[in-house]
Homo-oligomer: A and B are copies of this chain.
Amino acid sequence: MKNDVPPGAGSIYWRDNHGVDEVSNTMFRTTIQVETHGEGEIVNLTPRIEQAIAESGVREGLASIFVTGSTAAVTTIEYEPGVLSDLRRALSVIAPADIPYAHDAAWGDGNGRSHVRAAVVGPSLSAPVIEGRLACGTWQQIVLLELDVRSSRQRTVYVTVQS
């Protein structure tokens, strides 16, 4: 599957073209590849997760989301441009861009702040599935935070649906 019209702001391409994997008769896993376009991009995963839930056939259960990599994070927020920029500002309080990082001194890749922000927010969450939908609020989307400083990255997000 490839969506040329992304579900959120920015140009998001879903690069996964295989469906759901049946891990057991009560567990289904979908692997989502997301192309991101730089530090601070926030991707609305909710439409893609709900598609994964639909493809799993699970109507009542639990969905667990996990992002691979130590410079990205997963949380929920209202997917509205203003509050997304407010979140970016808060992350820059926790780990400012303009201070030295021991990680950068040792490795020179300039993403010490990315690692720190990702560790504080965390890589995973779990939400109930009710009548085939996430139990999120109307203004509560599950989002991927791209925190790395590279101009683009391909991120792998796993959706595990249990019944």
Contacts and interface: CB of A to CB of B under 8 A. Distances in A.
Chain A contact-residue range equals 35 or more
A75 to B, nearest CB: 5
A116 B140 contact: no
A109 B162 CA distance: 37
Contacts of A120: 75, 87, 90-91, 94, 120-121
Interface in A108-131: 112-113, 115-128
Interface in A61-109: 61-62, 64, 66, 68-70, 75-78, 80-83, 85-87, 89-91, 93-95, 101-107
- Most chain B CB within 10 A, of A78, A113, A163, is at A78
Contact of A87 (B85, B106, B119, B126): B119
Interface of A: 21, 23-24, 26-27, 29, 60-62, 64, 66, 68-70, 75-78, 80-83, 85-87, 89-91, 93-95, 101-107, 112-113, 115-128, 135-137, 139-141, 156, 158, 160, 162-163
18 contacts: A23-B60, A24-B163, A27-B61, A66-B128, A70-B76, A70-B77, A75-B122, A77-B118, A77-B119, A80-B106, A81-B102, A82-B103, A83-B115, A86-B102, A94-B94, A121-B122, A123-B140, A128-B160
